[in-house]
Amino acid sequence: MADAAPRSKSRDLDKLLLRPGNLVGPTFDPGVQLRDDLQEYARVLVVGAGGLGCELLKDLALSGFKNLEVIDMDRIEVTNLNRQFLFRLEDVGKPKAEVAAKRVMERVSGVNIVPHFCRIEDKDIEFYNDFNIIALGLDSIEARSYINAVACSFLEYDSDDNPREETMKPMVDGGTEGFKGHARVIVPGVTPCFECTIWLFPPQVKFPLCTLAETPRNAAHCIEYAHLIKWDEVHSGQAFDPDNPDHMKWVYDEAVKRAELFGIPGVTYSLTQGVVKNIIPAIASTNAIISAACTLETLKIASGCSKTLSNYLTAMISTVKTALCRYNGVEGLHTKVTEFVKDKDCLVCGPGVLIELDTTVTLKKFIDMLEEDPKVLMTKASITYHGKNLYMQAPPVLEEMTRSNLELPLYDLMDKIPKDVLHATGTINKDDKKSSGLRKLRVVFKGIDGVTDMDMAGGA
């Protein structure tokens, strides 16, 4: 009997990319060339190398993506090892991005993963423009907002305020919390961006200080009392370090005393860590399910082998029967897709915030105006124009190099073009909360030929 033909490593992928279908995208052109182009030219950035990020790197590499990069600012901790399967005990203290990239490349031949051990804000905007798709595996609303703003900053609109397809930077966002998770596709200008649906995320729980100090009612109140009030009373001038075991043990001991005083049960060391560090429970199975959904959507966007998700998937693993999820059994997985609508007035994925200026306004005056503009509210702004740094707040070398532009008219710095788009990066003050952010600004200079009344009347 003749030996059976060896199974191709891309056999399953070929079923999607080499055959036509009824649910394919309008640009889908099946064939070997598509598969080869996907492996050679598609560039995907994975943001985050934690529980979800590890799964994403593995799944993307096994799905035919050969050119991957990953960015993460964290180092590996012992508590990561139960679910972040790419890490080992000997990796504790090493950068997550570097170890994750190394492990996947060891197991999947032909894939090249470039790690970046830094904050996402440390990379300039053009760094993100080099990728075809950005996949998010983050656990922070602030980080998601920043990457969303960066991706939307590349979006350009035509004269009729229609988004130009060639400037769209697709994102696939995943998130998990315990047995729940979500996956969604964000195509700036077409689908809702992260800012359009920021209301989906519940506000972070905050405890009134008067409750903590006078009438604690549960274990979390006792822990936050020790953390926010008692620590400053005893350690005046010394900052609390949540990663210092001695500091955490002190808070735990004080919380136990507080709980005993008021007869409140339930204070444990693990709960103390969770409350103080705002740890979200993570389960490996949930990460795997959401990562699979995100990877499939990434493959759809890159190849057109199927229509993409429209546009928000939620998943819940159940261990009990619940009317909310309408399970028929005692265990199962419930998924649901919801199509949300883009906010036409979104300040991030819309055409941009309209700002009208005189031609004599200097760059310094313009930066000061951003602090007062109700639609921007940005301090310490750095300004770029078509990739050129007009003024950079940091690092000091760039600040010194661009400082001379501050006293020049912005009109001259924009090559005397009557209307165009700038990008501002800085600290956004919103609802008494500060966060890093990026805004797209449509600057129109008054009194210049070619600027119509319609230009002046439009807005974001």
Q: How is 15-51 classified by DSSP, letter by letter?
A: HHHSS--SS--TT---SHHHHHHHHHH-EEEEE--SH
The pair of structure tokens assigned to 264 is 């409140």
**How many CA atoms, within 13 angstroms, populate the side-chain half-sphere of residue 349?**
26
Q: Which residue from 116, 125, 26, 107 is spatially nearest to 71, judged by alpha carbons?
A: 116
CA 88 – CA 78 distance, rounded (Å):
9
Closest CA to 306 of 101, 23, 63, 92: 23
- The encoded tokens of residue 145 equal 């907002």
For residue 451, count CB atoms less than 10 angstroms from its CB and return exposed for 0-12, middle for 13-18, buried for 19 or more.
Answer: middle
Q: Are 248 and 272 in contact (CB under 8 A)?
A: yes
Sequence letter at residue 225: Y
Nearest CA-CA partner of 37 in 45, 28, 46:
28
Question: What stretches of 87-219 adopt beta strand conformation (E)?
Answer: 112-116, 133-137, 171-177, 180-186
Question: Annotated catalytic residue: which of 118, 196, 210, 305?
Answer: 210
CA distance 405 to 188: 32
How far is 202 from 181, CA to CA, in rounded Å?
14
Annotated active-site residue 294? The verdict is no
Q: State the sign of the Cα–Cα–Cα–Cα dihedral 76, 79, 80, 86.
A: positive
- Looking only at the bridges linking them, the beta strands covering 433-445 and 353-357 are parallel
Give the residue numbers marked as catalytic. Answer: 210
